[in-house]
Chains A and B, each alone.
Chain A
Amino acid sequence: MVVSREEILHIAKLADLNIKDEEIDEYAKNLQDILNFVDILNSVDTENVEESIGIANNTNVFRKDEIKEFGNRDILLQNAPEQEDGMFKIPKVI
């Protein structure tokens, strides 16, 4: 499989990353190298093999649906790039 420049741009868009025109070929080459390497997995017989979803022993973990207040709004907001009146501030969206 060959990774095209268009595909790199499509993936970058999905990942919310800008890729400069001159960087596209390098990203494509890096991705291609890894994809060629992981092709080795096609030699593993996985007929009738179940997927491992993580490592846990397939038990669901339940907890009560109760709100626990963090209690310190200011300390959470102090990392915000921009805030106003105790809220995160973003540009107008509508």
Chain B
Amino acid sequence: MELYELTVHELLEKLDNNEITLEDITKSYVDRINDKEKDVQAFVTISDKEALEKVKEIKERNTKFAGIPIGIKDNMCIKGTKTTCSSKMLENFVAPYNATVIEKLNQENMIYLGKLNMDEFAMGASTEYSAFKKTKNPWNLNTVPGGSSGGSAAAVAASMVPWALGSDTGGSIRQPSSLCGVVGLKPTYGLVSRYGLVAFASSLDQIGPITKDVRDSAMLLNLITGHDEKDSTSVDIEKKDYTKALKEDVKGLKIGVPKEYFGEGINEEVKKSVKEAIKKYEEMGAIVEECSLDIADESLAVYYIIACAEASSNLGRFDGIRYGYRTKNFTSLKDIYRNSRSEGFGAEVKRRIILGTYVLSSGYYDAYYKKAQKVRTVIRKEFEKLFEKYDVLLTPTSPTVAYEIGTKSNNPLEMYLADLCTVTVNIAGLPGISVPCRSR
């Protein structure tokens, strides 16, 4: 077995037993990237040389994760490294500071293998909207890896990185993890600081781990949580050790299965696999009950109104003045704004800015934005009711398995349906995890 195939906790075990060195690990991943990246195209920036140099400098394992490599979605700032958001707008943007999650990984002295591809500004569900390249699903190179954290999920699935950070606004960690067969966790809103994450929709965005198994997921979550005064929405609660929640037992666990997520629009094979998993949980002693969460379509509608409204506001900062792309065609200041934005943003980003600006504009604000904010309350209450009865809710992550590249990218609304099963938890600020339920 090659080192790159192992999970992080397996790597740590081998390090503890002095079977391998930190250099062995980084070299193994760099070789793997050199071998696989030409096919998978998961990276925007590869930091192989920096990684090999840095690991040589680490003489002692002073922290648990010292010298352990990781990949980072290209919307989180690493000081001195390009942070492009896979957009022409930020193609040459070099981050002047570290995101809080990066500060936390730096405290552990971890190693960055590179920045991972994504849909432009995290808007998309297939990574096809990256301005630079189309990432392929490593299991079948003709299909999409999902998105928007498609580079992160594909890099973990192809073992080019042992684990990665992604971000999730409406499913962008969980859906690509599902399509690539890895574990993706979207933490509770407020658990992880968003400082240094390029904002898409601030009331929905959350950073989380993409890993090969749930133990690694818990370990990486432990590393990135914690209150941060630089993000006023980060919650000030006592730090937990999530690995303590790992027990190989689901006896007595109350699982609610909302029937609406097994209806029309969900692929038959997906339904079958998830039902098999449910049966397995039952055999293991979980208490499974069908329930109703009849808000899937409404959640998607609320999501697209709120996410696009917040995006239109957040992306207002890109004006070609202080950083980012500046047009060559201008005489006035207004020209700089309009032409830089029009030339720098891709088609999907512009579509969403237009929608967001529309729902916030005078005359439509009450009908769309305010209404969506109210329905958001209704959705949160629906969940509260269900969690009085159940410990967890179980649904498919994605309505489909990975589909062929190019088959949906021209139909925005169809692409939006990819988020059907995942957006509800972002709307309610809840955590959600996608775990593989059947292997190929």
Interface residues of A (CB under 8 A from B): 3, 7-8, 10-12, 14-18, 27, 30-31, 33-35, 37-38, 40-42, 44, 46, 49-56, 61, 63, 70, 72, 75-76, 78-82, 88, 90-91, 93
B377 touches A55 (CB 8 A): no
Minimal Cβ-Cβ distance residue in A for B203: A54
B96 touches A75 (CB 8 A): yes
A17 touches B301 (CB 8 A): no
A79 to B93, CA, bound (A): 6
Chain B residues near A11 (CB-CB < 8 A): 354, 357-358, 361
B297 touches A30 (CB 8 A): no
A17 touches B333 (CB 8 A): no
For window 139-181 of B, CB contacts with A under 8 Å fall at none
Provide the B93-119 mask, 1 if CB < 8 A to any CB of A, else 0. Answer: 110110000000000000000000000
Task: Tell me, rounded to whole Å, the shortest Cβ–Cβ distance linking A52 to chain B.
Answer: 4
Interface of A is mostly: loop
Chain B residues near A88 (CB-CB < 8 A): 321-322
Chain A residues near B297 (CB-CB < 8 A): 40
Out of A38, A56, A90, which one reaches B190, CB within 8 Å?
A: A56
Interface residues of B (CB under 8 A from A): 92-94, 96-97, 189-190, 202-203, 229, 232-233, 297-298, 300-302, 304-305, 312, 316, 319-326, 330-333, 335-339, 341-342, 345, 350-351, 353-355, 357-358, 361, 368, 370-378, 380, 412-413, 416, 428-429
Out of A30, A49, A90, which one reaches B377, CB within 8 Å?
A: A49
Evaluate whether A52 and B373 lie within 8 angstroms (CB atoms) in the complex, with A79-B322, A91-B331 already known: yes
A55 to B342, CA, bound (A): 32
Chain A residues near B312 (CB-CB < 8 A): 15
A33 to B439, CA, bound (A): 37
Chain B residues near A38 (CB-CB < 8 A): 301, 304-305, 368, 372
Evaluate whether A51 and B370 lie within 8 angstroms (CB atoms) in the complex, with A44-B375, A93-B333 already known: yes
Chain B residues near A82 (CB-CB < 8 A): 326
Out of A10, A46, A49, A79, which one reaches B96, CB within 8 Å?
A: A79
Chain A residues near B326 (CB-CB < 8 A): 81-82
A44 touches B378 (CB 8 A): yes
Contacts A/B (CB < 8 Å), 28 sampled: A7-B358, A11-B357, A12-B354, A14-B361, A15-B312, A15-B354, A17-B338, A17-B350, A31-B351, A31-B355, A34-B412, A38-B304, A38-B305, A40-B297, A40-B298, A40-B301, A42-B371, A44-B375, A49-B374, A49-B378, A50-B377, A53-B203, A61-B232, A78-B96, A79-B322, A80-B322, A81-B324, A90-B333
Minimal Cβ-Cβ distance residue in A for B318: A16
A11 to B275, CA, bound (A): 46
A55 touches B372 (CB 8 A): no
Chain B residues near A41 (CB-CB < 8 A): 298, 301-302, 305, 371-372, 375
B361 touches A51 (CB 8 A): no
A51 touches B233 (CB 8 A): no
A17 touches B323 (CB 8 A): no
A79 to B156, CA, bound (A): 31
Chain A residues near B190 (CB-CB < 8 A): 55-56
Interface of B is mostly: helix
Chain A residues near B372 (CB-CB < 8 A): 38, 41
A51 touches B301 (CB 8 A): no
B322 touches A44 (CB 8 A): no
Task: Tell me, rounded to whole Å, the shortest Cβ–Cβ distance linking B73 to chain A.
Answer: 20
Task: Tell me, rounded to whole Å, the shortest Cβ–Cβ distance linking B281 to chain A.
Answer: 29
Task: Tell me, rounded to whole Å, the shortest Cβ–Cβ distance linking B154 to chain A.
Answer: 28
A8 to B372, CA, bound (A): 22
A27 touches B368 (CB 8 A): no
Chain B residues near A56 (CB-CB < 8 A): 190, 233
A90 touches B324 (CB 8 A): no
Chain A residues near B378 (CB-CB < 8 A): 44, 46, 49
Out of B233, B304, B321, B357, which one reaches A54, CB within 8 Å?
A: B233
A55 touches B361 (CB 8 A): no
Most chain B CB within a 10 A radius of its CB, from A38, A72, A81: A38
A44 touches B94 (CB 8 A): no
Minimal Cβ-Cβ distance residue in B for A75: B96
A81 touches B320 (CB 8 A): yes
Task: Tell me, rounded to whole Å, the shortest Cβ–Cβ distance linking B370 to chain A.
Answer: 6
Most chain B CB within a 10 A radius of its CB, from A16, A46, A80, A90: A16
Task: Tell me, rounded to whole Å, the shortest Cβ–Cβ distance linking A44 to chain B.
Answer: 5
A44 to B377, CA, bound (A): 11
Minimal Cβ-Cβ distance residue in A for B189: A55
A30 touches B322 (CB 8 A): no
Out of B96, B370, B429, which one reaches A72, CB within 8 Å?
A: B96
Out of A3, A34, A50, A91, which one reaches B333, CB within 8 Å?
A: A91
Minimal Cβ-Cβ distance residue in B for A36: B413
Out of B298, B353, B373, B413, which one reaches A51, CB within 8 Å?
A: B373
Chain A residues near B358 (CB-CB < 8 A): 3, 7, 11, 31
